[in-house]
Structure 1
Amino acid sequence: MTVKKILGAAAGALGLMWVVRAAWGIPSAIGASMSAIQPYASGAVSYRDRHFHNTEPGSQIVAGSARSLLYSALTRRNAGHPRGVIPLQTPVVPTEAADLAVTWYGHASALIEVDGYRILADPVWSDRVSPSAIIGPTRMHPVPSPLSDLPPVDAVIISHDHYDHLDKATIRSLVAAQTAPFLVPIGIGAHLRHWGVPEHRIVELDWGGSVSLAALGRTREGTDLVLTCTEARHFSGRGLVRNTTLWASWSIVGATRRAYFGGDTGYTKAFAEAGTALGPFDLTLLPIGAYDERWADVHMNPEEAVRAHADLCVGDPGHGLLVPIHWATFNLAFHGWSEPVHRMVEAARAAGTAVAVPVPGQRVDPNGLSPRDSWWEDVG
């Protein structure tokens, strides 16, 4: 065999190994099949023709934008990376949960404290948000602390099934390390069952559906917490088929304090409806990143996040505290790394809205000193 043929065979073998590694584990990471999801989805208010739908029609991608998207992908794919190192803090974990506080772990992952309860939202501890181990967006900063360092939580809430919000490895670790139930929009329970989550730890809710932690056997000093699956404007899908599971935001209402977790959503009238029915909220966690005019219906921009906060506070932009999420950790769009927080801070100042922008791992206590320095200026 000639040297050329030997090198060609070696290159082919390496290429095959790369393909195998890239594809390894993908079917399991994708989750449940459509046939496994469908029996649970039937009867949901927004489910028809075997798919979920937004109340306010909108496009995931604006028609005719394929060419401009390709151009952006070729010329601006690295625009979302910071120039400097993103700072971290080791999370502070008080012995008792506060009346109101939040620890931001990056992107949309947060530990929310309300009336002495701890709620873990959209936990993603993996380095890559993709079904593949070697293809897909990777972290721009490490996780601030290991998943094993989390305190016992009272519930885990999931907004939707995209990989940057629902991660198989994290879910399986939480099943082993925690006893909390998983509260999910309809259909996502099928993914959890596929990954071995016990049935008694899965609670699936439609928009407007609520559950109290007391009803789930989890109470603290006689208090209760009610979590409501609220409407969002987004989409779902972990493979080639879209919208087979529901997407949502979450309200967390205690006897004295109220928090709202936006997850990932476009601007919607549902914010004002949630504010009227369940608010006003003392703390809102709202997405400010991964926006683009070509998918504006399903991802808010920073100014819309400030507007949504006012809606959730029943028209009072000065009520409560806005903490931004869904930025800084993964490069998922074509805007600059620090652009979302710059725009949000400016819009919040104009509206009279109090904001706190924690570094990943930092705990925000609205009753105490909140982080208000512009740390991102040194990064992006």
Structure 2
Amino acid sequence: MFKKFFTASFALFLTACGASFGGTPDGERLERMKASEQWNDVEEKFQNVIPTGGIKPGKRWELFKAFWNKPPDPTPEDYPPTLTPEFSDIPSASLRVTWLGHSTVVVSTAGQHILLDPIFSERASPFQWIGPSRFHLPPVDIKDLPPIDAIIISHDHYDHLDMNSIKELVDTTDALFLVPLGVGAHLEERGIPANRLRELDWWDEIQIGAIKIAATPSRHFSGRGLFNRDSTLWASWTIIGPNHRVYFSGDTGYFEGFREISERYGPFDLAMFEVGAFNEAWSDVHLGPKNAIRAYEQMEADVIMPIHWGTFSLGLHGWKDPAEEFAKIAEEKGYRWVAPRPGEYVEPGVYEPKQPWWKNW
């Protein structure tokens, strides 16, 4: 009784502050969620393939100490450099991947544009007056994006599902929103039409023009409030065009499923893995640089690119640390790696930026 009262009261507080837990799946949506192999009938929530907690056993004390010994540079002293994205004159037979910061990416191939995890707000938070703020402005305004064919959301955390951006995108594009099971309830609660939504389980596929998109497994968790953890699904994503294939990890810890994803949908021209917000205490749900390289080694992919870094301070490390460690390991192993600036594109085999631009900021 108290839990329900507290949840309702806190939801009213969030609404008064201009934020929301999001929607609660019910009806036919909930029945489809319960039919998923990822659904735990006993606990009535989604689960990972292998047991996964937020903090690894035995690491709570180390995490507590880390909070009191934060690095001197969690944010840059000045705005990092951004470039104005180039979306015009992309040959339909080529692949261009444009990083807009954090996990926001535009994949352009076969004459189509796919937008992933768009966050254009100032803060990665349910509020825009408190919470982690951006290191840099978005390299492009939503209104200046190319015609978007599909918008993919990896999971419902605030640094990936940004409702302010979603509401603007639904008004400025005709794109379908592709989300994991249950996440559609959040979007419908904020007025996104049901006919613009497609909810996918792991291994579900959808054809958008010449491009096939598949939701694939990841090892993470979900939740936008205090009491709805794992009430919606999380996913990585593959984008398969006539000539090129791309993998996008979303948020995930290391698990053995990367190999199966590659066997089903590879080889990939480019694989994007999250490297930021890493710490040994929560390595079950966030890769970090070392495990991003391990995951890449499980897959057949030509080029590896880091995401989920360089825009918000969400971890207990210096803002440069994810890129610095990632580039060091990838270089030592002789892998093809890229690290674009916000707004810069990657075109495998044509333009592969790997200069350590972060060193001067």
Within 2, Cα distance between the matches of 1:348 and 1:71?
30
Within 2, Cα distance between the matches of 1:367 and 1:165?
29
Tell me what 2:354 maps to.
372
Within 2, Cα distance between the matches of 1:26 and 1:235?
21
> What is the count of residue pairs matched by the alignment?
345
1:321 aligns with 2:315: no
What CA deviation, in whole Å up to 9, does each residue of 1:291-329 have, x standing for no partner? 10110101002122122223221xxxxx51111100011
Tell me what 2:339 maps to.
357
Within 2, Cα distance between the matches of 1:139 and 1:22?
23
1:42 aligns with 2:34: yes
Q: Percent identity?
A: 40
Bigger shift: 94-103 or 273-282? Answer: 94-103
Tell me what 1:60 maps to.
54
Tell me the SS of whatever aligns to 1:113: strand
- Give the conservation status (yes or no) of the 8 Å contact 2:62–2:281: no
What CA deviation, in whole Å up to 9, does each residue of 1:213-252 have, x standing for no partner? 1xxxxx3xxxx21111000000000001200000000001
Bigger shift: 191-200 or 30-39? Answer: 30-39
Tell me what 1:168 maps to.
163
Task: Give, in angstroms, the shift of residue 92 of structure 1.
Answer: 1.0
Within 2, Cα distance between the matches of 1:186 and 1:205?
5
Within 2, Cα distance between the matches of 1:333 and 1:79?
12
Bigger shift: 72-81 or 338-347? Answer: 72-81
1:25 aligns with 2:11: no
Within 1, Cα distance between the matches of 2:268 and 2:355?
24
Tell me the SS of whatever aligns to 2:313: coil
Tell me what 1:110 maps to.
105
TM-score normalized with structure 2 length: 0.90
What CA deviation, in whole Å up to 9, does each residue of 1:179-229 have, x standing for no partner? 01011110001111111111111111101111111xxxxx3xxxx211110
Within 1, Cα distance between the matches of 2:71 and 2:354?
30
Tell me what 2:4 maps to.
none
- Give the conservation status (yes or no) of the 8 Å contact 1:78–1:334: no
One-letter amino acid of the structure 2 residue matched with residue 60 of structure 1: G
What CA deviation, in whole Å up to 9, does each residue of 1:275-306 have, x standing for no partner? 11110101111111111011010100212212
Task: Give, in angstroms, the shift of residue 56 of structure 1.
Answer: 1.4
Within 1, Cα distance between the matches of 2:334 and 2:47?
34
Tell me what 2:223 maps to.
237
1:196 aligned to 191, 197, 205, which one? 191
Within 2, Cα distance between the matches of 1:110 and 1:38?
30
Q: 1:304 to 1:62 in 2, by over 3 A?
A: closer
One-letter amino acid of the structure 2 residue matched with residue 71 of structure 1: K
Tell me what 1:93 maps to.
87
- Give the conservation status (yes or no) of the 8 Å contact 1:22–1:134: no
Q: 1:69 to 1:306 in 2, by over 3 A?
A: closer
Within 1, Cα distance between the matches of 2:16 and 2:307?
30
- Give the conservation status (yes or no) of the 8 Å contact 2:60–2:281: no
Q: 1:227 to 1:129 in 2, by over 3 A?
A: same
Tell me what 1:264 maps to.
251
Tell me the SS of whatever aligns to 1:358: coil
1:212 aligns with 2:207: yes
Tell me what 2:273 maps to.
286
Within 2, Cα distance between the matches of 1:296 and 1:68?
13
Task: Give, in angstroms, the shift of residue 338 of structure 1.
Answer: 1.2
Tell me the SS of whatever aligns to 2:100: strand
Bigger shift: 351-360 or 38-47? Answer: 38-47
Tell me what 1:81 maps to.
75
Gaps of 5+ in 2: 1-12
- Give the conservation status (yes or no) of the 8 Å contact 1:122–1:165: yes
Bigger shift: 362-371 or 278-287? Answer: 362-371
Within 2, Cα distance between the matches of 1:133 and 1:360?
22
Tell me what 1:348 maps to.
330
Within 2, Cα distance between the matches of 1:181 and 1:322?
27
Q: 1:21 to 1:279 in 2, by over 3 A?
A: closer
Tell me the SS of whatever aligns to 1:354: coil
Q: 1:245 to 1:78 in 2, by over 3 A?
A: farther
TM-score normalized with structure 1 length: 0.86
Within 1, Cα distance between the matches of 2:72 and 2:156?
25
Q: 1:306 to 1:100 in 2, by over 3 A?
A: same
Q: 1:309 to 1:115 in 2, by over 3 A?
A: farther
What CA deviation, in whole Å up to 9, does each residue of 1:244-272 have, x standing for no partner? 00000000111211001111111111111
Within 2, Cα distance between the matches of 1:267 and 1:183?
24
